[in-house]
Amino acid sequence: MSRNVLYLIIGALLVVVAVGGYQYYEESQKSGIEVEVGNGGLSVETK
């Protein structure tokens, strides 16, 4: 196996890890509205 093929494989793996990390970050930073109903009444918060 030539050195160029190894560099290509390593580069592809780095791209996969970077894209996976970005997707995980975006998933953990979901924005939206949170509505809670409790003893104190209705609470609406934006995230």
This prediction's pTM: 0.58
Taking alpha carbons only, the member of 36, 16, 18, 34 closest to residue 26 is 18
Q: pLDDT tens-digit profile of 1-47?
A: 799 999 999 999 999 999 999 999 888 877 788 888 988 888 888 87
What letter represents residue 46's amino acid?
Answer: T
Half-sphere exposure of residue 46, counting CA atoms within 13 Å on the CB side? 0
Structure confidence at residue 29 (pLDDT): 78
Contact 33, 44 (CB under 8 A): yes
Query: Would residue 28 be called left, alpha or beta, if left means φ above 0 and alpha means ψ between -120 and 50 degrees?
Result: alpha
